Structure formats: C-alpha cells, structure tokens
Structure 1
Amino acid sequence: MKRNTGGSGTHHGLILALLLPVALLLWPLHASAASSPAGHGGISYPIVYIRCERTDRQVTLKGTVVIDGEKKPASRVMRGADIYDVLPDVSHFFGGFSGPCDLVYRAPSGEERVLYDCSSRSSMEQACAAMDPAVSFDGRRVLFALFEGSLKPYKFRFPAPILDPAAENKKQMFWATLPVKRLAAQQSRLLIVDIDSGRVATLPHEPKTFDSGPAWLSDGRIAFTSTRGNPYQTLVFGATDSNRRIARIHVMDTNGKNIELTGYHGLGGQQHPFQLLDGRLSYSSWQLFGALPFRTTNGSPGRFGTLANFFHLYSQYPDGSVPFALYGQHRANYTGRFGQNHKAAHFAGQSSDGRVWVTDYYRANNNGLGIIVGFPLPPEGQEGIGPDDKPGIGDIYRPRGMVNLASWATSEDTFARGMPKPAYSDPEYADPLAFAGKLGHPWGAPGNRLLVTWGKGPCSTVASGWILKRPRPPLIDGSGQGVPLNVMTYLGRDNPGCDAGIYEIGTDKTSKHPSDMIRVVDSRKWHELMARPAIPYSEIYGVERPADRPAAHLRAANTDYLPKGTPFGLLGAASVINRETRPLGGLPFEGENQWSLQGTDTVDYEDGEICGMRILGVQPNIRKEWGRLFTPAGERVVILGEFPVRHFTGQGKPVRDSDGDIDSSFLVRFPANMPYLMQTVDCQGRTLNSDQSWQHLAPGEIKVCGGCHVHGKPGKDFGGTIAYRKDYRPVLLGQGTVPLLAGGPPGKPEIRQAEGFGLQIEFDRDILPILRRRCASCHSGSDAAAGLKLDVPGTGKGSTWRCLVADRWQNCVPKALRHKGTGRNGILRRPQLTKYMRFMNSRGSLLYWKAANQRTDNRSDDQYGPKDKAWNDVDFGPDHPTEMTSEELGMLARWIDIGAPGGRGYLLDTTPPTLTLAGDLDNGKLIRLHIGVADIPSGVKAGSLRICLGDDRRCLPTPPLPDEQGIVHVTLPEPLSDRNGEILVEVEDQAGNRTRLTRDLAWLARNYETGEATSERPRIYDMEGSSRFGDKPAK
C-alpha cells in the first residue's frame, strides 16, 4: 500500500521570551532549528478512535498568605491544569478517567464523523464515555464499551507558598476546584455500530455491571471482560485496601447469547483481551497470589510493592484453556541488558510481522502512558531467556528479541524526559515542547507499522522540577498539593501538561526522536487515543482473520476419562524432575527474588527427594475479605490431593523415559473451571517447589507440560513417558476422598485418604489443638518458653496465629532472641514471614523443625552465621522433643505449605459448582442432553439440578447425580429443532453457591453436532493422537 509520509512542515525556530525572572529561566533551548511537527500528510487509510475532552484553560487559585507577619488575600493564575486529566489505565479501568468521550471515524482526507456522541449529550449528572473500540475483521463494524455515570470535578488542597513562594504560612492549606471532569462510572455496556450507516445495536447487559474491553473472535463470537458474578481480587497480605472488584474474560455470541466465563483463573482480574494472529487471546493479568506482590518492597522490609504494577501480559485460548505468561511475570525493577524495567503491562497490539507490542507504564499517575516494548512471540510453552542461558536477574524469562519502540519515552513514575535535540514545535502550541512525552496504545497498521498514542508534555502527576534552572522555586518535586501545576506555571510556556494524540510509527528500528512519527490526529481540544485502522484485517495481516483455536473438548482425543459433557479435565507432565524452579541467586535466608520474582524451591534438595505432586484448588474471593480472611496466600486454598510420580519396575528399579531420564510423569483428573496450583512434594507431603500463577482446566481439556516451569527451552516430550502409555491410569481427584502422601520411600510411598471433595486446613480448628496438646505445657502463660505462647486462639494481637504468621517485626520475640537479619530495625525480609515461619515452606520453617525435632532444610546450624549477611539464618538449637505423631506433623506441614491460614472465614466455600452442558443431535435436532456436575470443596447439593427448555422454561424431571459428581444423561421427551431455542441448566452446592448456564441449540450444534474431535490439536499442551485412553477409569 502506497503511503503518504507527510511533508516536512515549517521550521519555527522560536526563541523563548523572558517570561519569568532570570532565576527561574528554563535550561537553554537547543540552538538548532526546531523539528517539524510529526508528518502533516497523515495516513492513507481510515481509522476509528476515542476522543475525550481535554482541560485547556488557565485556572486561578485563591487563598491567604502571610508576608512580613501581615495576612492578605492572594491569587495566582496557573497553567497546565490538563496535567490532572486522567486517561484509562489499570487503576482507572472502571472509571475515574476524564470524560465525556466520543467514538470517532476519520477518513484519510481528515474528514471526521462521530459514530457515538457522548460530548453533546452529557451533563455533570448524567454522562458517558465511549472506550475500547474493536473493528470487525471485515472493517465494517465497531464494537466498543460505553461507560455511564456522573462527572465529578477534581478538587485538591494546596499550601500557601503555591500562591507566593515568600508566604510565611507555609503549612496553611486551601481548597481548589479545577475544571477537570472525571467520570464516576456506575456501569459499562457493549455496543456495536455500523460504520457506513451509523446504526447502533446494544448487547444484553446486567445493570450495575461493567462489560468492557471487547474483542472480535475468529469464530464469530466476542470476548470481553466483565464483573458478572461480582468477583473480588486477591487479598494481598498486609494490605487493607487491596480487595477490590475485578473483571474476568467472558465470551458470547454477537447477539448477546451463550455468555460463558472463560477467565476462571483470572482471580486477580483481567483486562483488555485481543486475539493474536495465532488464535490465542492476549490480555493483561493481575498476578497477586501469595508472594508475587512482594518482589519489590517500596522501601519497607517484608512489605509488598506497588500493587497495580503487577499486571503482566498473558495469553489463553478463547475458551480459557492453556493460560500462559507472555511478558513481565518474572520481571520487576531490574533493567537488565534491555535497559528498561517492568511495571504494568497493558494496552497491547500486534504488528503485521506477528510481533506483540505492549505499553509498559507506572500505574495511576501517568495516564496509561510510558514506553512501548515489542517482541516476537516465543514458541508456545516458552517465555524467553531461561536459566540455562545464565541471565542476570533483570533478564530471566525476558522474551528474546525484545526491543524498545522509542528510546526517548520513559515508564518512570515522574515527568517525561526533556525533548531531545532538535527542538520540537507543534502547530497547536506557540512554544517548542519542553518534554518528550510518553507513549501508549500500540495497534497494528498496514506495512508493519503501528498506530500509537503520544502524550505530549510531562504526562505525570508526580512532578520533577529538574527542567527549571537553579535557584529553583519551592514545591516543584513530588505529587499532590498542586506541585505539578506549580511546575507547569513556572515553566511559563504554551505547553500542555498532557495532550494525547494519535500518530503512526514504523517498527523497523528504534525511534530516537518524536519527529520520527507521522501525525494522524492531534488537537489541543481533545485527548485522542485507542486508534484502530477501520479496514479489513487482511490489509494489515494478509489473512482474513486470526487462526481458530477450537474449544478444549474439541481439541482433545476421545477418552473414557473425559466423556461427552464431562465436568473434569486432565492435567499431566512429562517430568517433575525436569524443572526450572531454583532461584537464580540460590536460597538465602532473606531475599525478595526467591518466590516473589523467580524460582520457588523451598530448600536445597536433590532429585531423589522428589516423590509426588499436590494439586491445590484456589477459591475466588466473592466479596471484600479484609477482616475475615487471614492468609499470606490471599485466597482460600483447598488440597484436592497428592499422588506419587516416580515410576519403578517390579524389581524396584527406576523406570527411564525415552530420553533415558528417570520417569516422573503423571496424569491427573480433577474438576474443570476450578483455579488450581501445583506443588512438588516429598514423600511426607512437604513442599519442594510451588506454582503461584493460577491456571484452570476447561471441561474436557487435556493439558500436558514438559516439566516444572520449564519456560526457557522446549520441554520433555510427553509421548515417551509412562503416563502416556495405554495401561497408565490417571489419578482421579474430586471423587469424595483426598489422597495424601504419608511417608515411605519414593518407590513405595504410603497414602492415606481424607474424606471430602477437598481438604481445608485452618489454624483454630486444625492446628491449635495440636499445639495445645503437644506444645502448650511449655509454651503458655507468662513464663512461656522463648516468650512464645502456643495456646491463644484467634487472629488478633497476641494470638498464636499472629505471632507465628504475621510478626515480621518480631514483636512476639524477646529482644535477646530476635534474629538479626538484613532488614531495617530487626524487620524480617521475605520470604521469611516471622522468625518461626517461611512462606509456604514447612521444611524451611523453625516451627516445623521444633515440631519434628530436627532441621529439615538440609542445612546445619553452623553453616551460616552473621558474617554471611542475607544467608545468616535462624538456628534449630538444642534437642526439642514434642511427641507429635506423623499425622499431626503432616497436618502442620500442609497448613504451612498452603499459606498458614487463620480465621473462621477461611473455611467458607466460595466456589460455584462446575456445570457443563453437551448434547446429541440427529439431523440438526437435539435429542439428548449430557450435564456434567462437580464441586469443590463442599460437594453438590442433592436434588438441586434443574433443567428447563424453551422460552416458557418447561422443566424436565432430573435423574439423580451419580456419586454427587459426574454426568447426568437426559433424553428429551421430543426433539428440539428451533436453533434459537434455549436450554437452562442450574445446580447448587452444599454451601449455597449456584451455577446457571443458558445455551441455545445453535451453540450445541457448533460444539457437538458431529461429536468428533478436531484434528487441530496444539502439540505442546494437548496430547496428539492419544486414542490410547480407551480403557475404563479406575475405581
């Protein structure tokens, strides 16, 4: 496609007038001629974009100042109020951004047409903002979100020296109201507009919910994020305000029917999915489980980092299966060889050559703008540079081939950098731009180029006065109190605080200057963002639409373990011994990289100690949990079961896989749609390494990996393992008993069974009785040994739970016995929670050592001492008999290994039942239903299954469930032939959680008309040619 790159423009070469006293002059402007504004010529294809009203007028602040002891009124005219405008980002996802906002179509000629007008119809009381446009693959329709609510002016307090730097009443504060308008949204819904006719269709919506971030799918459906089900985020340990409402990915038909939650594993929240060329969905995932938020500390030992910066780029199939990290999961405030660190990864797109581009920015203060990084998609199942490549900590799992689109942009939480030479003039502003600005919202354009949003100006509410020459005025560094406004006023230029506009840029090399970009649309009246080419997909990517990724039950081979309608999935691994789980820096006693950034090995262990796997179900938070959920894990964790993975011959010799390595493969079945984690354990069920990134199995899915967190290289082939053989019987979990490893050698580990569909462990109910029975004779009362009372219930101050789990300050430890680590003022650093406990690590915890009367971390007391700094660990000390039984030790170890939870609220069942619907069709008519039901942890309520047909909801007699978990087969009294005819299925669990599905016949026909498995089976995760699963399940 021929492209107009735009003219060179006029060189302004403006000289700054003397606007301020000499003491406040700016650093000198570059003497060279000013650069032209980025390409005047525009682009040769139409686009759609979002425009939001920009604050573009001076404001007057008023108050009282005291000068020479005399009080007098004062006022000051201020520039740059637009620095307080807010654009969407991870922190302003449900509103709080500037409004109103319109959806606009722009022709190559520059002629514009508003496709959805909020600006003219909004008032302060009732306002709207169009957001998140997605152009259909034929280029004819735009799917977008409409946020609705009221507009609120921005108010802030400022001190008297803002009015006059000589003011003596430095601490006296005054209120100011700016003309900045922010949308307090109450809901958002999805709409589709036809570009040519302008006709708008509204998709079905639940009031007060937020449906947003839509994307077209290659199979004709729509993906979007929604707050349906009212989920809340992970509770970060120690954070009182971290438990907020979140959105998860759903899919539905374009008529709004057949809505399916696919982001079951998105317990922290998911934002802005879009479909990659290869058919996967890419999206931003908020990863907050357990230790992950503690990789940075914000300067306080043992504390979490900036939570909203823990959004990373992930992928999944459209049905929610195969979630996997693409970018950022193992990166933090380490620049590495790439030269930029990672904060929040958001607003991603893809260029014509298949590279993914994503904005990396600091949350909340920077309008979702920062730097744009790009990288080729790694092979599925890999992230990037692995441990075998011996990277520095800043480069571990960084995607290979990653580049920074523009070196002049920054992702730091402060003002943008100064404009590089030559000086840059914009026709909308009288003076050359002082700041280089920030970038965001990359989206693929023809010719391997990108449409981006360029925020001109400092574009941050965290001010930095470096641009003002010394001596500098007061109140020019930091956030709040009008400081950013103060800097812009002292700057004295006709420059924006932040003015977002749309530009096009090439991807063949790193941009060195903003003039490398082509100006598309950029008016000082508006913020323009989220541009999308309004052309067929094929004109960008050479194909009509992305590849199809069929649902998991269609990809999987037929097997008696996963019959039609199954509520289960199969999870397997080619090897547990093949792993990339050791932290790069080893296992010092203190150090945030282990567990929080990369590697979760609990102790120094050998391959021979690996015995089995534990599957943990992770329950969603369904309300604000602060005050009733006490656990460093942040969620309710349920043990689904443990099982051995090492294989031996009848003579007791290890079996070797096809590579000659000791075979440690497995295959396990458990309920689908249940978020889960995996832990490698020894033969006593104690954790050796652990997941912290949620996954889930889709119904009927067979997911197999090549090792434990082998993300830096190809995994081991599952086809050459014991678990792939026809005579191998998968482990079945969620069947009413929970298998637990109970000792013995790896060749013959003992297994005991606990009753229930999942095992929950809570401190007061399960652990405190053991401590009282075995320990309280010494550890109670005013003279408790080591000052540690092990008989105090609850989770409040002075409780045993708090002293064991939540005392990083060592307040419960007598001063003479406190561990002197590297943390400030005796505060313990992660992964240590207290002197007595290490996060999810029984074998490394002093409490467990004392209970077992031995160190269990394969180290000795004299191995490390004070001279070893961060490696200086706690000592076991003298002999400490307790008479604990092996079962009691197992309960204590598992309690520590699942996060040491406390509080009665922990034992709640917050997981809705798994419910699936399948059908048999004969000549397009539905004749039989197969309904799958399972539930963790309480089990399905008897008699709660309801099946209804048609608009009149005629309900059918329902046969009882087999063993409370399984499949019910129902033959219809007469065939159903209406393609729009709906089937409603509903079930409840013992705790009152309810799941409802509504599907029409068209949906069943798409999924089950042939009943045959598709030949398109991704090689890495879904077993190819696995028809050997013809044997019956083991009882």
Structure 2
Amino acid sequence: MTSPQPTTGIVYTRQPRAVNPVPGSSIMDASSWQHASDVGRINGGIAEADVVLDDLQGNVHVLYNCTTSPDICVAQEARVSPDGRKIAYSVGYASTLVDTYHGRVKLGIKEIPALTHARIFIYDLDSGVSKPVPGYDGRSIDRQPEWLDNNTLVFSSNRGNLFPHKSQFNQHRGRYANGTPRWFGTAYGVSQYYGYRDAGKAMQIWTMKIDGTGAKNLTPHETMALSPTVMTNGDIIYSCWNGHANEAFDSPNRHSNSPGTEANKWWLCQMDGNGAEGGVVLGGHGSPLLKTRDWLDKSITGGEGASALRAVRSVAEIRRDYLAATNYYRANHVGSMGIVYGFNYRGGSVEGISRLNNFEHGIYSSEREGSGKYIPSDFIALTPYGNDADSHEPRRNRSGKVMGKAGYASALPNTDDYMITHGRGLCFEATFVEKANAQYTGGEPLCQKGIYRVKVDQVTDSFDTRQMEQIAGDARWHVYDADAVASYQDLWGQPEPERPRPLTGNACFLQVVDARRAELQPAEPYDWERTLYQQCSAQGCAINTEDKGFHARNMHYLTVFEVEMWDRSYSDGNQEEFANTINNHGFKSLRVQGYQPIEADGSVRMRVPCETPLQIVGQDKDGMTIAHDDKLHSLQKGETRTCHGCHDGHSEERAAQLAASAEERFANTIAARSNRPMPNNGFRTTWEDVKPILLNKCSTCHGDMHDEDGLLDSRIAWDYDQIDWAWAQRQPTLNGSYRLPRPYTSKWVSKLARDSLLYWKCMGSRQDGRTDAQYDNDIDFGPAHKTSATRQECQVIGQWIDQGIQRGYQP
C-alpha cells in the first residue's frame, strides 16, 4: 500500500481476480464466476471483497480488508457523504466459505453461501479511521448505505424480521391418477426464491442517524428493496421486487405451474425523503421493445437484437434530474452488469408514455392507449454495446473481440461525464465450458471489471477511448461500483440533497380527485389465447372491457386491503403451516381493512392505518373489485397521499392534459370538505366462509361437489388443467393442453370475481362487461344456472375470490 492515504479520487469495491486456468478443465480462469451481489444473489452466493480508496494518481488504500484477512466477509457498497469527508460502506460476515462450481466443474475459488449478519461502517477522511455505526443489534443485515444529509443514512436492511412472499406455483393439494402430486416441486408449491433462513429475509429501506439512533423502516410494504439512491431533489429511488401474485405470469402460456422468472420482476420505486409519496418510476408495466443493436455500427455482430426491462438496479443520478440504471437478467452477469439505460426523472406520479408512438426511440408504432407501457418517452440505452439478456452469443466488434457489458453508473464532479463499471469479456455465469477461453472471446479476458469514465452521451464502441476510458483497475482485480470522493457542492452545486418538510401528526389519509377516471388500458387488445395474461401481469389487475365507460359506471367504493407479510419461512418446523397457507397473492394473509363510498364527483378522502402494508382497490356497489394496484403501499405517520384517480395521470400525455397537481385539483372536490372517521367495516373472507355455501347450495345438483377428501377448494380454485369435473366442458387454450394461463387458476376462478365463472353462475349473468357473443374462444357464461344461493352468499364467494382464494392454515 502506498502512503499517504488518499483523500480524493474514487472509492470502489475490489476483488482479487482469478487468473489461473481451472484444473482439469478447458476453462481459462474462474473470473466469470467471482460472484457479486445482484438481485439473484442478495445475501448469499457472493465472493469476498474489499472497499478501496483510490486517488487515481497511484495511491490506493484499502478501507476494509476481507480478501486477505482471517475474517470471512465481504466489504462493499461505499458511498461518500455530502460534505465529501466521510465514506459509508457495508461489511457482511459469514461463518464459512464454500467451493464455487460451474455445473459440475470445481473452479478453485470460494464464496460466501449466506451472510449471517452485516453492518455499516463510516470511514472519516480527516482521521483516516473507520468505525462501525453504533447501536447495531449484532444479527441484522444492514447494507447499501446512502446519505440523506451529512448526519443521516438511508440503507437496505432485514431488521423488519420478515420474509418475502410465497412464490406462485399451483397449490392444488390433490394428486393425479398416477399418484403424483398436483402441486409443483415441494409440497403445495412451497417456494421462497431467496431462501428460508436469515439471509433470505426481506430487505427493506430504512433510515437512521450516523450515531445509530432513530432507525426507522420507510418501506414496511416491500418484500425486497435494494440499492437506495438520493436525488438532488431529495427523492429516494430504489429497486423494488414485485414478483408476487400474477407478475411472473408474463406470456400466453404461463399457467399455474409455469411462472416466468420471478427474480426478474425488479422495478424502480420512489419516495420522498420522509418515506412518503411512494410510487413506481420504471418497470411496473413491463416495457416495449428497447432499441439496442440498431444504435451500433453494422459491423458489430451478436447479442440481442432488442431488449426489454428485466431486473433494474444500481440506479444513480448522473446529471441533474437524469437517472441511469442497469438492466440485466438476474444472477447471470457477475453483479449488476448488463446495459445502462438513461431517462429524465419526471417525479413520482408520472411514469412514462401511454401511446407507443410517443416513445422517442421506439422500434414499433401504435396509437393505442397503453401500448407504450409507461416507458419514459426519452428512455435510451446509454451503453448499447452491452448485453442484458440471457444470451450465449455476445456482441463482437469487427475484429471479433467480445465487447463486454456495463453497470453501476455514477456521477463525477464538475462535468457531464460519468463513471460506469465496464466488464471486459463475457462476464456471464452461463458461459459454456467449451467457450470459456481466449479464442472464443477474441483475445479478451473471460471477465475483467474496471472503472471507466464515459465522455459521450452514448457508448457504442467499448474499445473507443474517445467514448470511454479506464480510470481504475487492471488485470489483477475486479473493480466495480465506484463513487466519487467529492463534495455535493462540487457534484451538484448545492450543499446536500433537498429535504422535505417533516411530517406532522399521527393520522394518514388517502385522497383521490376522481376515482372514476383511470388509465388502465392494456397494451394490446383482448385476445383470450394471446393477451389474456396482460390483464393482471403488467399493470396491477383490472376488469378490462372494450366498454370505456365500464370503470366509471361501476366504481363505487375506495377499498383498502391490509396485507399481512410473512413472519416465518418454510424452515424450522413451519413446513406444514407454510404449505397449507394457500392463496394466489403470496402473502401470509389479506383482509379488507375498510371501504368508503366515493362522492358524487368521484372524489374520496379516507383515513387509513399508518406504517402498514396496504393494497389500494376500487370496488363496485356489491363490493367486487374493479381494479387494484399490485404494488403495495404504506403511509408514514402524518402523511396524506393524493392521487388523480385510479392510475390516472401516470402517463406523460395525461399529466400534460391535467396540468395541475393532484393536490391542487383535490382542493376543489366534495371530499376535500368532508371529515369522515376511519372506516370500521373491515373483514376477511376465506375458504371456511365459502365451503358451506357450496356444500349447501351446489352439491344437491352436483353430487361430486363434496368435501369428503378435504379437496373441494383445490378442485374449485386450483384445477388449472381442468380434469377434476368430468361433467365440465374443458376450455381450450393456446398451447392445446387445456392448461389455463394466469390470471385463471381454474376454469371457475380468475384473479377477480367479476372475471370468474363461479361468480357469474352464482349471480346469474356474466359480470366482466362482455357478452358470450363477442368472442368465440373465451370462457362463456352459457345457460343460466339454477341456484338457491342468495345475493349475499354470492358476494361472499366473490369476496373470497377478490381476496386471493385464501385457505388459512387449519392445524
């Protein structure tokens, strides 16, 4: 190490790079498998690393040494304070190291299988001393610190002691005729993607003072939340996981036993510095095709032709109000590496464009509302030379050299230039053994990460030093995730991020200007075989009919569902309870917290519980759901959150029409003059409420509709392959197998009651705003079904469906 210790330059994470051939294999070295934390490897499956301060003049100082110390640890995620004099970083600890494998090939390197705990340290540039933040409990995983001001950190932590949602596989508890289980994999579809121990607990966004006091959870509603960054305006942008409910069922053939890649459902979310005004910035509706290869010279080959949003992480403000974020396919790109995209931040309420034709860099065109999938109009690949897909064919220049990939954008002081981490070579987990050599890479390393200065708006040639040049790292190291050691004043022309006024009071309110107005149009027209899945996988979930007045005519109540997060996992004796807590949203339970009628002008002001996971729902006069947000919310004490409508004003086009803010518009509504108490009308509907209705009102005609084997709810709600009722006509699907795609979990039950045949038959008519004659290939109501069920009993059935076909654990 050189001396004196540097006090300027950059700070980054560094690993000694594996450079030796892998014994007994043709793999040139193990550098593509030196894992760094990403959305697929949050708190486990990651290699040791150090935090390093580098003045870029040859003086390098290790702030925390894990790679050559006796401790088993990983130091990472360093961020500089606004005054430029302190560096916060995390150190995660483990009890053991394990061998790293690629398939069956032992690579000769080791990694941490799971963190036992992690804490935040602060390095003082003036004293040259690192100290841990006081008040640590000794068991939590505290990571990814960022600065709200010189005395306050925002960070990601599992201090809430909760677990993410239960993955959505088929939960039919019966067996096929040959005796094999109807569920997928382990018992009753049990799966928690990030594991069942402490390392798999829900990471959420917290704040605390640098003396360890005042720790507060800003996102009790998030099942996983990572990588907070603080913008100049004080807003906190972070990566939020939304793989629950139907979000992973993202193509026509995605039936209940075939979800997509759940761990790719990472969006960008937003809140202000108080943790209030939360919303979605990017990814909540998927994306249209994103232009990548067409930005490049025709001589460049390989890689994907176009891309789409997958896992979005490592977001940073690189110019004022301009965000850059990495998009990649989970776990396969040696950290947060892929393609860096950029866009102008428009605030928490405006996501992007409704009409695809308003996408500046679109590949296709459409004037249909919803076709733009709310992508920011100026969204662009800043490093299109990279690869963010699960592709085995990398991009190559005209000389045949692999062009690498990019991630971890970060601002530089006094310039529009910015930093990225560039990974030379493949840097691809799924590299075939026979391709892990210099001949295949065109002479490039298998993977070598370094810090580069980007000097142009868009890098199309990673070898062109006029576009970007390396400033840190060499063949001995993987160097990544850099932050400039500079004051906020030098970076942004202000002393620190803006701060919102503190919230006052203890009450929380939701306010809506006009709940009858909505932007809920799916990206493509209704097609039972090809686009049905879009109804609930890319925009929350709504009854989407061709009747544009349906929503406004039927919206009657603002309803709030209260979500109970998982406080236990499948491990430690909880297998039976976990397996038999069954629903189609993935949470431990869900209940109606309360509902309130909208006013004559469509407005509503409703008091709701604070700091509680909530789902916002619009319902009809019978209490059936018309639309709900799949993104969970929570309100901080003293917060009033105001919306234009039901996802109204979220497009750039609609926001321009409205001109005024939701708060300004709400002031002129009827609800603004109301003062209703918090509703006291909550309830929860489960299978135990529905079973006696079906037994008493259905089994008299359908003799096989009994519950002698305890599987009636499975046959009603989870028979996605349509084999339980011999008398029922099977509904054909696109793949010809009769396996119904989500949002249907059976022919009788969809995600919403008003889309469900069971509810239709009880009510005596179709309820989704369509007629049987409109389409010849979707589920029809058919002849009216004679039933003695009362309207109230039908509503109980509908509420059970709308609340997620819940079957509580019955020990």
Q: TM-score range by the shorter chain?
A: 0.7 to 0.9
Counterpart position of 1:107: 55
Counterpart position of 1:414: 391
Gap runs ≥5 in structure 2: 1-5, 170-188, 195-200, 295-305, 359-366, 571-577
Residue identity in the other structure for 2:190: T
1:544-623 correspondence to structure 2 within 5 Å:
544-553=495-504, 564=505, 566=506, 568-590=507-529, 591-598=532-539, 600-604=541-545, 605=550, 607-623=552-568
Q: Deviations over 1:284-326 (max 9, x none)?
A: 0001232222124787676321111111111112332111111
More RCO (CA 8 Å, sep 6+): 2
Q: Deviations over 1:896-952 (max 9, x none)?
A: 11111113269xxxxxxxxxxxxxxxxxxxxxxxxxxxxxxxxxxxxxxxxxxxxxx
Counterpart position of 1:178: 107
1:356-435 correspondence to structure 2 within 5 Å:
356-367=323-334, 368-387=336-355, 390=367, 395-415=372-392, 417-421=394-398, 423=399, 434-435=401-402
Indicate if the aligned counterparts of 1:79 and 1:485 stay in contact, CA closer than 8 A: no
The Cα of 1:87 is off from its aligned counterpart by 1.6
Q: 1:189 to 1:793 in 2, by over 3 A?
A: farther
Say whether residues 1:444 and 2:411 are aligned partners. Answer: yes
Q: 1:606 to 1:205 in 2, by over 3 A?
A: closer
Counterpart position of 2:315: 348
Counterpart position of 2:123: 193
Say whether residues 1:313 and 2:268 are aligned partners. Answer: yes
Say whether residues 1:527 and 2:478 are aligned partners. Answer: yes
The Cα of 1:724 is off from its aligned counterpart by 4.5
What is the CA–CA distance in structure 1 between the aligned matches of 2:551 and 2:191, rounded to whole Å? 41
Please state whether the residue corresponding to 1:773 is helix, strand or coil: helix
Indicate if the aligned counterparts of 1:294 and 1:305 stay in contact, CA closer than 8 A: yes
What is the CA–CA distance in structure 2 between the aligned matches of 1:438 and 1:392, rounded to whole Å? 34
Q: 1:317 to 1:84 in 2, by over 3 A?
A: same
Residue identity in the other structure for 1:85: Q
Give the length in aligned residue pairs: 733
Please state whether the residue corresponding to 2:307 is helix, strand or coil: coil
Indicate if the aligned counterparts of 2:605 and 2:672 stay in contact, CA closer than 8 A: no
Say whether residues 1:48 and 2:11 are aligned partners. Answer: yes
Residue identity in the other structure for 1:349: A
Say whether residues 1:643 and 2:596 are aligned partners. Answer: yes
Residue identity in the other structure for 1:801: D
1:264-283 correspondence to structure 2 within 5 Å:
264-266=220-222, 268-283=223-238
Please state whether the residue corresponding to 1:293 is helix, strand or coil: coil
The Cα of 1:592 is off from its aligned counterpart by 1.8
TM-score scaled by length of structure 1? 0.67
Counterpart position of 2:132: 202
Gap runs ≥5 in structure 1: 1-42, 62-75, 159-174, 424-432, 464-482, 554-563, 648-662, 739-757, 866-871, 907-1035
Indicate if the aligned counterparts of 2:517 and 2:552 stay in contact, CA closer than 8 A: no
Say whether residues 1:699 and 2:641 are aligned partners. Answer: no
Please state whether the residue corresponding to 1:904 is helix, strand or coil: coil
Counterpart position of 2:163: 232
Residue identity in the other structure for 1:258: G
Indicate if the aligned counterparts of 1:378 and 1:400 stay in contact, CA closer than 8 A: no
What is the CA–CA distance in structure 2 between the aligned matches of 1:642 and 1:256, rounded to whole Å? 39
What is the CA–CA distance in structure 1 between the aligned matches of 2:374 and 2:686, rounded to whole Å? 36
Q: 1:108 to 1:177 in 2, by over 3 A?
A: closer
Q: 1:135 to 1:156 in 2, by over 3 A?
A: closer
Say whether residues 1:855 and 2:785 are aligned partners. Answer: no
Q: 1:606 to 1:207 in 2, by over 3 A?
A: closer
The Cα of 1:792 is off from its aligned counterpart by 5.0
Counterpart position of 1:688: 626
Residue identity in the other structure for 1:256: G
Residue identity in the other structure for 1:809: D
Give the structure with higher Rg (CA). 1
1:906-917 correspondence to structure 2 within 5 Å:
none
What is the CA–CA distance in structure 1 between the aligned matches of 2:641 and 2:456, rounded to whole Å? 35
Q: 1:702 to 1:493 in 2, by over 3 A?
A: closer
What is the CA–CA distance in structure 2 between the aligned matches of 1:727 and 1:280, rounded to whole Å? 27
What is the CA–CA distance in structure 2 between the aligned matches of 1:905 and 1:510, rounded to whole Å? 58
Counterpart position of 1:513: 462
Residue identity in the other structure for 2:208: M
The Cα of 1:95 is off from its aligned counterpart by 3.0
The Cα of 1:333 is off from its aligned counterpart by 7.5
Indicate if the aligned counterparts of 1:147 and 1:189 stay in contact, CA closer than 8 A: yes
Indicate if the aligned counterparts of 2:154 and 2:206 stay in contact, CA closer than 8 A: yes
The Cα of 1:392 is off from its aligned counterpart by 8.3
What is the CA–CA distance in structure 1 between the aligned matches of 2:520 and 2:738, rounded to whole Å? 29
Residue identity in the other structure for 1:762: T
Say whether residues 1:668 and 2:606 are aligned partners. Answer: yes
What is the CA–CA distance in structure 2 between the aligned matches of 1:519 and 1:311, rounded to whole Å? 30
The Cα of 1:546 is off from its aligned counterpart by 1.0
Please state whether the residue corresponding to 1:772 is helix, strand or coil: helix
Indicate if the aligned counterparts of 1:134 and 1:144 stay in contact, CA closer than 8 A: yes
The Cα of 1:726 is off from its aligned counterpart by 8.4
Picking from 80, 87, 94, the partner of 2:29 is 80
Indicate if the aligned counterparts of 2:20 and 2:30 stay in contact, CA closer than 8 A: yes
Q: 1:286 to 1:792 in 2, by over 3 A?
A: farther
Indicate if the aligned counterparts of 1:408 and 1:417 stay in contact, CA closer than 8 A: no
Indicate if the aligned counterparts of 1:130 and 1:144 stay in contact, CA closer than 8 A: yes
The Cα of 1:220 is off from its aligned counterpart by 2.8
Counterpart position of 2:742: 830
What is the CA–CA distance in structure 1 between the aligned matches of 2:451 and 2:126, rounded to whole Å? 23
Q: 1:708 to 1:302 in 2, by over 3 A?
A: farther
Residue identity in the other structure for 1:619: E
Q: Deviations over 1:673-707 (max 9, x none)?
A: 11111222111111111111111111111111111
TM-score scaled by length of structure 2? 0.85
Q: 1:143 to 1:219 in 2, by over 3 A?
A: closer
Indicate if the aligned counterparts of 1:144 and 1:190 stay in contact, CA closer than 8 A: yes
Q: 1:406 to 1:726 in 2, by over 3 A?
A: closer
What is the CA–CA distance in structure 1 between the aligned matches of 2:44 and 2:27, rounded to whole Å? 27
Counterpart position of 2:492: 541
Please state whether the residue corresponding to 2:97 is helix, strand or coil: strand
Q: Deviations over 1:440-463 (max 9, x none)?
A: 111111212211111111111223
Percentage identity across paired residues of the two chains: 24
Indicate if the aligned counterparts of 1:822 and 1:829 stay in contact, CA closer than 8 A: no
Counterpart position of 1:886: 791
Picking from 759, 771, 778, the partner of 1:873 is 778
Instruction: Say which is worse superposed, 593-602 or 278-287, in terms of deviation.
Output: 593-602
Indicate if the aligned counterparts of 1:324 and 1:381 stay in contact, CA closer than 8 A: yes
Q: 1:306 to 1:153 in 2, by over 3 A?
A: same
Please state whether the residue corresponding to 2:553 is helix, strand or coil: helix
Picking from 64, 78, 92, the partner of 2:41 is 92
Q: 1:394 to 1:152 in 2, by over 3 A?
A: farther
Please state whether the residue corresponding to 2:801 is helix, strand or coil: helix
Please state whether the residue corresponding to 1:177 is helix, strand or coil: strand
Counterpart position of 1:166: none
Please state whether the residue corresponding to 1:893 is helix, strand or coil: helix
Indicate if the aligned counterparts of 1:844 and 1:856 stay in contact, CA closer than 8 A: yes
Say whether residues 1:775 and 2:698 are aligned partners. Answer: yes
Please state whether the residue corresponding to 2:396 is helix, strand or coil: coil
Residue identity in the other structure for 1:640: Q
Indicate if the aligned counterparts of 1:332 and 1:341 stay in contact, CA closer than 8 A: yes
Q: 1:416 to 1:45 in 2, by over 3 A?
A: farther
What is the CA–CA distance in structure 2 between the aligned matches of 1:380 and 1:454, rounded to whole Å? 30
Residue identity in the other structure for 1:596: S
Residue identity in the other structure for 1:287: N
